[in-house]
Chain A
Amino acid sequence: MQEGQTIRVLIAKPGLDGHDRGAKVIARALRDAGMEVIYTGLRQTPEQIVEAAIQEDVDVIGLSILSGAHNVLFPRVMELLKERGVDDILVIGGGVIPHEDIPYLKECGIAEIFTPGTPISQIIDFIKNNVKK
C-alpha cells in the first residue's frame, strides 16, 4: 500500500442471515479509522460480493456471517475471486464461527477470522498491516 492512499473496504453479508449489527459497527469503525467503506446490505450471493468488490476496486473484503453457512459461502467467495484472476484483495471474515472451522477457512485463502469479542482496533491493525495493493 502506498503512503497516503485510502484503503477501500467492502463489508459484505453472504447468505441469508439478517444479523448485521456487527457488520454495521465494523463498517462505521473502519470509516472512522479513515478507510472508505461500502456495505452491501443483507442476503448477498458470493457472485454479487465478488462482482461488487471488483467494480468498486476494493483492497479488502470483510465477510460477516452468523448463520453457520460459512464453510460453504466463504470458500465460494475465494473460488470466484480466483476465477476472476483477483489475488490482491485481502479477505477477512467474522461472526459466530467455531474455532475448529478456522483452519479450513484459512486454507481456502481467508486471511483471518475474527470471532465475537475481538477489539475493533485489532481488526484495523490487521487490515493496515496486511493489505496487499
Chain B
Amino acid sequence: MFDRESLKKLEQEKIRWESTTVKKVTEKTPERYEKFLTGSNLEVNRLYTPLDVQEMDYMRDLGFPGEYPFTRGIQPTMYRGRLWTMRQYAGFGTAEESNKRYKYLLSQGQTGLSVAFDLPTQIGYDSDHPLAQGEVGKVGVAIDSLKDMETLFDEIPLDKVSTSMTINAPAAILLAMYIAVAEKQGVSPDKLSGTIQNDILKEYVARGTYIFPPEPSMRLITDIFEFCSKHVPKWNTISISGYHIREAGATAVQEVAFTLANGIAYVEAAIKAGLDVDEFAPRLSFFFNAHNDLLEEVAKFRAARRLWAKIMKERFKAKNPKSMMLRFHTQTAGSTLTAQQPDNNIVRVTIQALAAVLGGTQSLHTNSRDEALALPTEESVRIALRTQQIIAYESGVTETIDPLAGSYYVEHLTNLIEQKAMEYINKIDELGGAPKAIEKGYIQQEIQESAYRYQQEVESGRRIVVGVNKFQIEEEPPKNLLKVDPEVERIQKEKLSQLKATRDNLAVKNALEELTKKAASSDNLMPAIITCVKTYATLGEICDALRRVFGEYKATVSF
C-alpha cells in the first residue's frame, strides 16, 4: 500500500520526531508507564504509522464487505441494510415467569429471544433430582418436559421470532422440544430460525455444564448438524463460544485461538461423520465476548473473521463463501462488572457494546448493571437494551461499514491478534487438536495463567478497576435486587409428579428404550429424541436413557 521511498522517509521523520519533539516533553514529564499494554497484555506503542502496516495488501488482507476474507464484515451493506439483532439473554424461575419477561422484551423493541436455562436443565437433571436442590429456576428457567416448553413460548409465534438457546450437553433435547412446540403452533421445522449453543468443548474448558464424555458428545453434535441440514435449514446448529473462555480469564488472543481451534474440531468431526463441508459449515455460528479495551476488541473481531475465512478456505477447502463467513453473537463482559458502584457498569457496557458494533457483530446482548450482585431487575435490563438502541440510532457508527479500518493501530492489532492466535492453533494441532489439548489440560492451564496474572495486576494496582482498587467510596448495600422465588422448586416438582401421573407412561418407556438402543447404534439420534419429547418424557429421563450408553464425563482438576 505504501511505496518504499516514502516509507523510508517516514522512518527517518519518525526518528527525528522522537529525538526532538517527543524527547523535549518526556524529559520534563515522563510517560505514565514505561510499557503500555492492552487489556490482554499486548504491548502498545506511543504511535502507529504506515510503518506498522507496511506489509498490508488491501485486497488480500481486507477486501470488501461480504467478500473473502470478510475482514470488513460479512454482509455487503452491514448495518446500513439491517441493524444487528438485539437479543437479551433472559430466563428465570418458572416457564410462566420467563414467558412474561420475553413478551415484555419483545414489546420493548427487542428483536430476538435468548433463553437462559437453569443449571439442572443444562446438566440434564429434572427439578426433583437431589443435585437440583437449591438450583431450580435460579440462573435461568427450569424446563423438565415439553409441557414447560409449551408454556415458555405460549403466544410467541415461532415463525416470527428467532430464538437462541444457551444449551449445550442436552442441546438435541431442547431443540427437539422447540420443534415439537412449533409443530403444535402449526409451524414446520423449515420455518424455524434460531441458535442452540451446542458447544461442548468449551464446557470442558471453561463453563462446566457437561454431561457425557467427549466422544458421544461430539456424535450428538454431528447428528444435529446432519438433521438440521435436512429439516431445519435456517437453524444455527452451534454457537462456537469464546465468551466463556474469555470470562474464565483468557486474553483476547486466547479467546480467538481456543474458539477457532474448537471450531476446527467440530468441522473435522462432521467431515469424519461423512458430511460435506459446504453442507453444514454455513450454519456454524460463533459467540464472542466484548471487553473494555475498545480498539483491541474491534481488532479481535476483525482478526477472528479473517482467520476463520482462511481456515475454511485453505484448510477445509470450502467452496461456498457462506462456509467461510464467521457470523457471531456478542455479549458484553460479565467479568468486568463490579459490585462496587454498580451504576458505573452502564458505562462499561456501553464501551463494550460499541466495540461489538464497530467489530461487526450480528447480534448483541448487553449486560445489566446489577449482574455482579444478582440476576438483573426489569429496570436494569431496560437500560441495557436502551444502551444498544442509543448506539444503533444516535451514535452514527452504523452509517458506514467497518469505520475503524485503515487505522494504523487497529490494522496492526488485527494482524497481531491473528498471528498470535494462529501460533496457538498450530500448537494445538501439534498436541493433536482441541479435544486432545483439552484432555491434556493445556488449554485450561493457559487460561488459568492469564486469569491469575490479571488478578495479580489488579491486586498490585498496575491495572485499575474504577471503584474497586481506585476511586472507592463508602456505599450503602444495594437494594431492589431480583429475588427468585424459592417456591419455584416446589412448583416444578409438583408439575413433574402431575405430569408423570397423567401422561402415557407406556409410550414414554418404549420411546426411552428405543432411544437407548439407537444410542448404542450409529444412527442419527434426533428422530428418536423427538419421539421421546412428544411422549412428555422428561429431560432427566431422556438424558438418563443416553447416560446408560454414553456414561458421564469426569473432569480432571488443576489450578
A residues touching B (Cβ–Cβ < 8 Å)?
A: 11, 15-21, 23-25, 27-29, 37, 39-43, 45, 67-69, 71-73, 96, 98-100, 115-117, 119-121
Contact between chains at B477 and A100 (CB < 8 Å) = yes
Contacts A21-B247, A120-B455 aside, 9 further interface pairs with beta carbons under 8 A come to A16-B120, A19-B208, A25-B455, A28-B452, A45-B131, A68-B484, A69-B138, A116-B372, A117-B340
Total A-B residue pairs with C-beta atoms closer than 8 Å? Answer: 105
Q: Would you call B249 an interface residue if the criterion is a C-beta within 8 Å of the partner chain's C-beta atoms?
A: yes
Q: For the complex, what is the distance from the CA of A45 to the CA of B468, rounded to whole Å?
A: 32
Contact between chains at B555 and A67 (CB < 8 Å) = no
Number of interface residues of B (CB under 8 A): 45
Complex interface: chain A residues within 8 A of B10 (CB): none
B221-251 vs A, Cβ < 8 Å mask (1 yes, 0 no): 0000000000000000000000000011100
Contact between chains at B452 and A25 (CB < 8 Å) = yes
Q: Which of A18, A27, A72, A96 contacts B203 (CB 8 A)?
A: A18
Q: A41-B557, A68-B374, A96-B374 are in contact. Are A16 and B135 (CB under 8 A)?
A: yes
Contact between chains at B119 and A21 (CB < 8 Å) = no
Q: A17-B119, A100-B477 are in contact. Are A39 and B203 (CB under 8 A)?
A: no
Contact between chains at A39 and B249 (CB < 8 Å) = no
Complex interface: chain B residues within 8 A of A72 (CB): 133-134
Pairs A-B, 7 closest by C-beta atoms: A18-B208, A72-B134, A69-B134, A99-B477, A16-B119, A41-B557, A68-B138
Nearest B-chain residue to A23, judged by Cβ:
B559
Q: Would you call B448 an interface residue if the criterion is a C-beta within 8 Å of the partner chain's C-beta atoms?
A: yes
Q: For the complex, what is the distance from the CA of A27 to the CA of B379, rounded to whole Å?
A: 36
Binding site secondary structure of chain A = loop
Q: A21-B451, A27-B559, A117-B339 are in contact. Are A73 and B134 (CB under 8 A)?
A: yes
Q: Which of A23, A45, A69, A98 contacts B374 (CB 8 A)?
A: A98
B residues touching A (Cβ–Cβ < 8 Å)?
A: 119-120, 122-123, 125, 130-135, 138-139, 203, 206-209, 247-249, 335, 338-340, 372-375, 448, 451-452, 455, 459, 465, 468-469, 477-478, 481, 484, 486, 555, 557, 559
Contact between chains at B468 and A21 (CB < 8 Å) = no
* Distance (whole angstroms) from the CB of A116 to the closest CB of chain B: 4
Contact between chains at B455 and A41 (CB < 8 Å) = no
Nearest B-chain residue to A18, judged by Cβ:
B208
Nearest A-chain residue to B374, judged by Cβ:
A98
Q: A27-B559, A43-B131 are in contact. Are A121 and B459 (CB under 8 A)?
A: yes
Q: For the complex, what is the distance from the CA of A129 to the CA of B451, rounded to whole Å?
A: 27
Nearest B-chain residue to A99, judged by Cβ:
B477
Contact between chains at A18 and B209 (CB < 8 Å) = yes
Nearest B-chain residue to A40, judged by Cβ:
B557
Q: Which of A15, A25, A39, A117 contacts B119 (CB 8 A)?
A: A15
Contact between chains at A24 and B451 (CB < 8 Å) = yes
Q: A20-B208, A24-B559, A28-B452 are in contact. Are A68 and B248 (CB under 8 A)?
A: no
Q: A18-B209, A24-B559 are in contact. Are A67 and B133 (CB under 8 A)?
A: no
Contact between chains at B139 and A42 (CB < 8 Å) = no
Q: For the complex, what is the distance from the CA of A42 to the CA of B557, rounded to whole Å?
A: 9
Complex interface: chain A residues within 8 A of B123 (CB): 16, 43
Contact between chains at B481 and A98 (CB < 8 Å) = yes
Return 18 A-B CB contacts under 8 Å, by A number.
Answer: A15-B119, A16-B132, A23-B559, A24-B448, A24-B452, A25-B451, A27-B559, A40-B557, A41-B555, A43-B131, A67-B135, A69-B134, A71-B134, A72-B133, A96-B372, A98-B374, A115-B339, A119-B459
Q: Which of A18, A19, A39, A73 contacts B559 (CB 8 A)?
A: A39
Interface hub of A20, A73, A120 (most chain B Cβ within 10 A): A20
Contact between chains at B139 and A17 (CB < 8 Å) = yes
Complex interface: chain A residues within 8 A of B557 (CB): 39-41
Q: For the complex, what is the distance from the CA of A75 to the CA of B209, rounded to whole Å?
A: 24
Q: For the complex, what is the distance from the CA of A17 to the CA of B459, rounded to whole Å?
A: 26
* Distance (whole angstroms) from the CB of A90 to the closest CB of chain B: 20
Complex interface: chain A residues within 8 A of B122 (CB): 16
Q: For the complex, what is the distance from the CA of A108 to the CA of B230, rounded to whole Å?
A: 56
Q: A68-B374, A115-B339 are in contact. Are A21 and B249 (CB under 8 A)?
A: yes
* Distance (whole angstroms) from the CB of A67 to the closest CB of chain B: 5
Complex interface: chain A residues within 8 A of B247 (CB): 19, 21
Complex interface: chain A residues within 8 A of B119 (CB): 15-17, 67
Nearest A-chain residue to B454, judged by Cβ:
A25
Complex interface: chain A residues within 8 A of B208 (CB): 17-20, 42-43
* Distance (whole angstroms) from the CB of B227 to the closest CB of chain A: 27
Q: For the complex, what is the distance from the CA of A71 to the CA of B138, rounded to whole Å?
A: 12
Nearest A-chain residue to B249, judged by Cβ:
A21
Q: For the complex, what is the distance from the CA of A45 to the CA of B125, rounded to whole Å?
A: 14
Interface hub of A25, A45, A71 (most chain B Cβ within 10 A): A25
Complex interface: chain A residues within 8 A of B465 (CB): 117
* Distance (whole angstroms) from the CB of A37 to the closest CB of chain B: 8
